[in-house]
Amino acid sequence: MSRASWPQFITDVFDHAAPVGASTFDVKNPATGAVLGTVADMTAADARQAVADARGAFKAWSQETAKSRTAAMMAWHDLIVAHVDELAQLLTLEMGKPLMEAKGEILHGASYITWFAEEAKRLYGDIIPTNAPGRRLMVVKQPIGVVAAITPWNFPSAMIMRKVAPAIAAGCTVVIKPAEDTPLSAVALVLLAKRAGLPDDVIKLVTCSQPAEVAKALTDHPDVRKLSFTGSTRVGKLLMRNCANTVKKVSLELGGNAPFIVFDDADLDQAADAAMLAKFRNAGQTCISANRFLVQIGVYEAFAAKLEARVAALTLGDGMAPETTVGPLINDGAVSKVESLVRHAAACGAEVRTGGYAVDGQGTFFPPTILTGGTPDLTIADTEIFGPVAALYRFKDEDEAVRVANDTPYGLASYVFTQDMGRIWRVSEALEYGMVAVNEGTVSSEAAPFGGVKESGIGREGSRYGLDEFVEIKYIGIGGL
Ligand code: NAD
């Protein structure tokens, strides 16, 4: 799509992304390498100003009735849905995923806005039975204050909505720092919030090319009372350390190393269909991507064959092309990392059944790949691949499957395929993961708690548990009654 033919809304987003006179940085289309446009390159001082503005807006916003906050959020939601096609185009242009997936991401993200807009009305406190005559014990839930939301490039729209919706529903104000590869989706969402009539400064945006400096300004700031971060475990640990100085509440949604366990008694077509979703959606660049396919010996070859047939039907290409089912990876670094993992696995004896090596030419494309015959001690098995590579490993029995699945510092999503109800319970309870998907290929929903254990994170997003992350619990005791 040429710039001249962009819809008016996309042009508006570019106008807002880089105010006249601001220093800027370039945003590129990973499918072509072309510069899409420029975005304001904000500094630590800008971040501190954004916090001051958000702090200024906090009192009035937190004192609005829940009903009035709900109405403002619903207006934002409705504008997002009305602009879903342009938002999806923008997302695909800056991030690469196929247009249909981008549209799905926008609508999925928007579902968090309606969910939390409704949930805000039910943010109940408690009256506790008294422990002494003449005394009453009450618990109220109050918004925590200014929230810093730091988000990754792989879901540049949904990750923002999943954080901002519960925060503003609870009565908090938010400063968003989006990933430097994908700031345009953030600019678009904030522009729509403004058009929907959300008060100025309830949602602030700090786009920048130097995340360390800006994130430090946010995590150092005493008026930021909560950090909600989604990204790598490495950066999550660093930010958590920074937050310790001012003892902020933190939620961290970090990396994963999801096992995808297929037992002999599984419905293999169901498992292979789910594998396509769990592995190849977003070109494998999701924190809940299946990273290790653990397949029981008796069905190993049959499952590999079914997966291979489905992978053959995928089309790699520019996400803007309607036939594309797998887009480019985010940048050159991602391609080299994925390719080196595959080369190393092949050198250690794994068989590259299909795909395997980067595609020459424009863009950052890596073909859907299947590796068989590897062992769980390979580097690729304990690294978050973040690419369209399905690596299959054999196991003998249930104990071995659970042991290998849990043998990682990560604990985000896991997948289990079996028809045995007893095994469903046993394995689900034994897996050291925040989420277990049984006989299905996805776990993300606005109605369910999303999050990890171990080094995959702290806290939950979505569901009523997601709202608790943005409130303080206050006890009020009244004596002398
Ligand atoms: P990343 O950690 O490099 O970046 C995430 C955010 O942190 C970005 O906004 C980035 O600008 C910022 N950042 C980068 N370096 C920083 C630094 N030194 N100091 C402060 N901030 C810094 O991660 P990414 O590559 O953008 O995203 C991929 C990672 O995110 C993967 O590990 C993936 O599993 C994880 N992820 C997790 C979830 C989840 O819900 N658990 C969801 C999506 C992605």
- 86/191 same-domain check: yes
Backbone torsions φ then ψ of 150, nearest 5 degrees? -115, 125
- Residue 151 CA: which ligand 1 atom is closest? 9
267, 272, 278, 282: CA torsion to nearest 10 = -160
pLDDT per position as a tens digit, 430-469: 999 999 999 999 999 999 999 999 999 999 999 999 999 9
> What pLDDT, on a 0 to 100 scale, did the predictor assign at position 428?
98
Q: Which residue puts its alpha carbon closest to atom 10 of ligand 1? A: 179
Backbone torsions φ then ψ of 189, nearest 5 degrees? -65, -40
Q: Which residue puts its alpha carbon closest to atom 11 of ligand 1? A: 179
pLDDT per position as a tens digit, 36-70: 999 999 999 999 999 999 999 999 999 999 999 99
Q: How far apart are CA 379 and CA 224, in angstroms?
A: 38
- Give the residue from 140, 32, 157, 30 showing the smallest Cα distance to 102: 157
Contact by Cβ (8 Å): 39, 24: yes
pLDDT per position as a tens digit, 379-426: 999 999 999 999 999 999 999 999 999 999 999 999 999 999 999 999
Average pLDDT over residues 277-287: 98
Contact by Cβ (8 Å): 295, 392: yes
pLDDT per position as a tens digit, 349-382: 999 999 999 988 888 999 999 999 999 999 999 9
β-pairing verdict for 249-253 and 369-372: unpaired
- Give the residue from 287, 477, 303, 470 showing the smallest Cα distance to 384: 287
Q: Give the CATH number for residue 145.
A: 3.40.605.10
Of 94, 119, 253, 339, which one is the catalytic site residue? Answer: 253
Q: Which residue puts its alpha carbon closest to atom 14 of ligand 1? A: 211
Contact by Cβ (8 Å): 236, 213: no
pLDDT per position as a tens digit, 147-198: 999 999 999 999 999 999 999 999 999 999 999 999 999 999 999 999 999 9
Q: Which residue puts its alpha carbon closest to atom 17 of ligand 1? A: 212
- Position 5 confidence tier, pLDDT thresholds 50, 70, 90: confident
Q: Which domain holds residue 316?
A: 258-438
Q: Determine whether the shortest distance from the Cβ of 212 to ligand 1 is under 6 A.
A: yes
Q: Determine whether the shortest distance from the Cβ of 412 to ligand 1 is under 6 A.
A: yes
- Catalytic residue check, 351: no
Domain annotation covers residue 447: no
pLDDT per position as a tens digit, 209-264: 999 999 999 999 999 999 999 999 999 999 999 999 999 999 999 999 999 999 99
- 128/225 same-domain check: yes
**For residue 235, how far is its CA from the centre of ligand 1 (angstroms)?**
7
- 283/150 same-domain check: no
> What pLDDT, on a 0 to 100 scale, did the predictor assign at position 2?
66
Domain annotation covers residue 46: yes
Domain annotation covers residue 448: no
**For residue 82, how far is its CA from the centre of ligand 1 (angstroms)?**
29
What is the ipTM score, two decimals?
A: 0.95
Q: Determine whether the shortest distance from the Cβ of 455 to ligand 1 is under 6 A.
A: no
- Give the residue from 270, 307, 300, 474 showing the smallest Cα distance to 389: 307
pLDDT at residue 91 greater than cutoff 90: yes
Helix axes 99-119, 84-95, angle to 10 degrees: 120
- Structurally, how many domains does the chain consist of? 2
- Give the residue from 95, 260, 266, 110 showing the smallest Cα distance to 180: 95
- Residue 236 CA: which ligand 1 atom is closest? 2
- 277/182 same-domain check: no
* Element containing residue 354 per DSSP (H, E): strand 351-354
Domain annotation covers residue 178: yes
